[in-house]
Structure 1
C-alpha cells in the first residue's frame, strides 16, 4: 500500500492502519520534504519511484487533508496505474442506507441514512453527516463538524473543525467554512465563510 503524503494527516492515517493490521509493505510518498522514513516506514521521494512501486503494488490511500492536494494526488496516482482505496476508522456509526464507499471516514464519525459522500472525500474524526446530506468529491469535513439533514456541500470544499451546516443549506464548490462557523443560508462557489451566523469574507 502506498500512502500519498507524509505529513500530519498521514500520521493519523497510519494509526488506523496499525489498528487494522494493514501495514505490510507500506510506503509513503512525499517529493517535497526530502524525509526518507516515517515511523520506520520508507518514504518514496520521486515520481519515478512511486510509479515503479505501483506497478506491483497498485493500491494507494490519500494521506493528506487538503482538498486540492487530494484531487491532485488521486489524478496522478490513477494515471500511474494506481487503484484508490478508501479507509474506514474505528467506532463509526454508519447507516446501511448510505453511499460512502469511496470516502475516507476516520474514527468516531456518524454517517446517517440516505447520505451521499463523493469520491476522495475525507470525513475526519468525530464529524457528523446526518440524513439526506450530499457531499461532493474530494471535500474535507474536519473534526467535529456537523452537516445537518438534507444540507449539501460541493466539490473540493473544506468545512472547518466544529463548524455546523444547518438543514437544507447548500454550499457551492471550493468553499472554505471556518472553524466553529454556523452556516445558515446557501453559499455560492469559491468563497470563504466565517462566524456565527456565517458571513462571506472572501470571493475568489
Structure 2
C-alpha cells in the first residue's frame, strides 16, 4: 500500500494502519523532502518510483489533510493505475445508515444516520457528523468539529478544529471555516468564515 504524504498527518495515519495490521508492503510518497525512510518504511521520491510501485501494489491511501492536495494525489495515483483505499479508525460510533465508504474516518468520531460523506473526504479525530448531514468530496473536517443535523458542506472545504455548523446550514465549495467558529447562516463558495457567530472574512 502506498501512503501519499510523509508529514504529521501521515504518521497519525500510520498509527491506525499499525493497529489494524495493515502495514504489509507499505511505503510513503514524498517528493518534497530528502528523507528516504520513515519509521522503518521506505519513502518514494519521484513519480517514476510511485508509478512502478503502484503497478505492483495498486492500493493507495491519502496521507495529507489539505483538501486540494488530497484531490491532487487522488487524481494522480488513480491515473497511474492506483486504487483508492479509505481508512476507518477505532472507537467510531457509526450508523448503519451512513454512506461514507470512500471517506477516511479517524478514531473516536461519531457518524450519524442518513449521512453522506464524499470520496476522499477526511473526518479527523473526534469529529461529529450528525443525522442527514452531507459532506462533499475531498473536504477536511478537523478534530472536534461538529456538523449538526441536515447541515451541508461542499467540496474541498476545510472545517476548523472544534468549529460547529448549525442545523440545516449550507456551506458552499472551497470554504474555510476557522477553528472554534460557529456557523449560523448559509455560506457561499470560496470564502473564509471566522468567529462566533461566524462571519465572512473581508479579503
TM range (shorter): over 0.9
Q: 1:131-158, CA deviations, whole angstroms, 9 ceiling, x for partnerless residues?
A: 0000000000000000000000000000
**Partner of residue 138, structure 1:** 138
* TM-score for both structures, normalised by structure 2: 0.99
- 1:139–1:154 contact (8 Å) kept in structure 2: yes
1:107 matched to 2:104? The reply is no
* TM-score for both structures, normalised by structure 1: 0.99
**Partner of residue 152, structure 1:** 152
Distance 1:201-1:130 versus aligned 2 partners, 3 A rule: same
Gaps of 5+ in 1: none
**Partner of residue 187, structure 2:** 187
Distance 1:137-1:33 versus aligned 2 partners, 3 A rule: same
Matched position secondary structure for 1:193: strand
1:28 matched to 2:28? The reply is yes
**1: distance between equivalents of 2:7 and 2:70?**
13
**2: distance between equivalents of 1:19 and 1:200?**
41
Q: 1:28-70, CA deviations, whole angstroms, 9 ceiling, x for partnerless residues?
A: 0000112111111100000000000000100000000000000
**Partner of residue 97, structure 2:** 97
Matched position secondary structure for 1:64: coil
Matched position secondary structure for 2:68: helix
Gaps of 5+ in 2: none
Matched position secondary structure for 2:28: strand
**Partner of residue 65, structure 2:** 65
Give, in angstroms, the shift of residue 192 of structure 1: 0.2
**1: distance between equivalents of 2:162 and 2:80?**
36
Across the two proteins, how many residue pairs are aligned to each other?
Answer: 203
- 1:193–1:202 contact (8 Å) kept in structure 2: no
Matched position secondary structure for 2:61: strand
Q: 1:126-184, CA deviations, whole angstroms, 9 ceiling, x for partnerless residues?
A: 00000000000000000000000000000000000000000000000000000000000
**2: distance between equivalents of 1:147 and 1:35?**
38
> Which ranges of 4 or more aligned residues in structure 1 deviate by more than 3 Å?
none
1:87 matched to 2:107? The reply is no
Distance 1:44-1:186 versus aligned 2 partners, 3 A rule: same
